[in-house]
Amino acid sequence: MRVGVIGLGIMGAPMARNLLRAGHDLTVYTRTRAKIDAFVADGARAADSPAAVARAVEAVITMLPDTPDVEAVVAGPDGVLAGAASGLLAIDMSTIAPAAARRLAVEAARRGVAFLDAPVSGGEQGAIAGTLSIMAGGDCAAFERATPLFAALGRQVTYMGGVGQGQMTKLVNQVVGAATLAAVAEGVVLAARAGLDPAAMVRAVGSGAAASWMLTEQAPRMQRRDFAPGFMVRLQQKDLRLALAAAGELGVPLPTTALVHQLFTAVEAHGGAALGTQALVMALEALARP
């Protein structure tokens, strides 16, 4: 397919490379020209605006940090919809507010554009390996059109229903993931205080009922003080704010999520907003100091 990717950050860049490797005709746009040039050197085409991307392709994928970024890129004066012809497929793979996804879908439909919200889970490693979990909402026919693109990006692709349901599923994912990460961080701090061998602890606990991706992948990073971002604290905080807001609208209490959000706020307060989410352990270590 002729596909455009807008946003070439930690997630967007490896996703775009996987589309290129799969044989799709790729057009890219991001605010940093050097990132665009790197893709052009590998065979992609460059565009000078989101509207220009839309004019050149059959499908556009956006992978951006937050709701206002997506709204500006999709519906802004020089955005995707401004350059879109009827029949374009717009796929937002960012994590944004479900209500915003629904608003964008309505605006897209007015211009004959099919809109999918298809956020992902799996972090930078999953984006590089093409093993992301993709949770999609929108028209079923649009989802079927996107299948060849999703095949290059993810291992588990799940259709969740109407527009906004992909984003709501992602928020559920973030609630479960954040709570699990906090439990892993507590275990790491307890194990360290007790003098347990770090690697042996992960092997033992990871072989039983407490096994999780967070334990096997993030506990060793916490133990060796590797806080390089696969997913940044500030982006996790954005996702938790979205989850808490959605839960408030639905009348659902999320006490554990609220606590984890506050622990991440402590990490941010000490300059850790750009660190990986495994830096959550630093807040618990601070609480454990005599």
What is the residue type of 16? Answer: A
Strands 132-137 vs 120-121: parallel, antiparallel or unpaired: antiparallel
Q: What share of the chain is helix, strand, coil (3-state, %, to 5)?
A: 60, 15, 30
Whether 170 is a known active-site residue: answer: yes
Q: Which of 45, 145, 170, 234 is catalytic?
A: 170
Tokens read off for 139: 């028209």
For residue 181, give the nearest of 132, 216, 228 by alpha carbon: 216
Phi and psi at residue 152, in whole multiples of 5°? -80, -15
Give me the long-range contacts of 33-40 (CB less than 8 A, separation at least 24).
Answer: 35/8, 36/8, 39/8
For residue 171, give the nearest of 89, 264, 238, 112 by alpha carbon: 238
Rounded Cα gap, residues 109 and 105, in angstroms: 6
Between the alpha carbon of residue 229 and those of residues 169, 178, 262, the distances in Å are 23, 15, 19
Active-site residue list: 170
